[in-house]
Each structure stands twice: as structure tokens, then as C-alpha cells.
Amino acid sequence: MTSAWDEFQEQIKAQMMEIYSETVVDHTLNPRNLGSFPDADGYANITGPCGDTMEMWLKLDGNIIIKAGFITDGCGTTIASGSMVTEIVKDKSLAEALKISQKDVLDALGGLPEESEHCALLASNTLKAAIRDCLAMQKEPWKKAYRKY
């Protein structure tokens, strides 16, 4: 038996599907890799031109990214973008991951409305900054002891 709440959720989903791809709706309503984790090998906190912020954590095995997490105070499409970029980066080398672009995130999401495309850029820029942090930490691992994330 479906409740009024279930029906309400279905209505919201149907409205979202008029604007966004099924993948965007899925990643917005069921974001993957949401949250931080201890002992990350790289971290970034980036604020986009719209004022929204994304934080990202990466865990490495050698030069391979084995785990990624994110949080954001942005809108649904920012959540979908963070969710997608933390999925597609898994099992990539740092060099491969550095090549992940806004377009890659948009393609994986099945596109975003033009006014939301910058959300994918925030996600790919946050990933790049977290990768640069991984590389910096590899050069100077002693700095990790002073990290507060």
C-alpha cells in the first residue's frame, strides 16, 4: 500500500524527470559517496562563483584512487555532480583522474540544463584540487600529521 508520502515523492521525482536525466535524478535523490572519512590522502574545499562549496576526500592505494567522498552545500545538481565525479574517479590513477573534466561529469550525468552546467565544473575542479593535495602530501608526507580533516 502506498502512503501519501510515497505519492508525494513520486510526484517530485516525476517533476524532476521533466527537467533532468534519469541519472541526475537518481544521483540527486540517492547520492553516492556522501560524507568524509578518516585518514584521507587528499582533501579540497572549493567555492564556485555561485557561492556554493564542495569538499572532497580521496584515499589512495599507491597512485590509485580507491575511495572518494564529498559534501556540498549546493543544490540538487551539485549533489548529483559530486556523486558522479566521486564514482567515475574510483580505480583511476592520479594522472588519469586529473584528466576528468566538466564535460566528463556532464556526459556521465546525461547532461544538465545550461544554467546548471557550472555545478559539474565545481565537482571536477574540487576533484583536481584534491588530487593536487594528494600529490603535495606524497612529496611531504610529514604534513599529514598536521591535518585537521
50 tagged catalytic: yes
Applying CB under 6 A, which part among 21-29, 45-53, 63-71, 131-139 lies near ligand FES?
45-53
Q: Is 77 in the site for ligand FES (CB under 6 A)?
A: yes
Strand partners, 53: 47
**d(C-alpha 28, C-alpha 58), whole Å:** 21
When the beta carbons of 77 and 102 are compared against ligand FES, the nearer one is 77
Which entry of 50, 95, 96, 103 is annotated as an active-site residue? 50
Q: Is 31 in the site for ligand FES (CB under 6 A)?
A: no
119 tagged catalytic: yes
Residue 133 burial class via C-beta count within 10 angstroms: exposed 0-12, middle 13-18, buried 19 and up: buried
When the beta carbons of 41 and 70 are compared against ligand FES, the nearer one is 70
**d(C-alpha 87, C-alpha 144), whole Å:** 25
Is the CB of residue 119 less than 8 Å from the CB of residue 81?
yes
Which residues of this protein are in contact with ligand FES, per CB under 6 A?
48, 50, 52, 74-75, 77-78, 118-119, 122
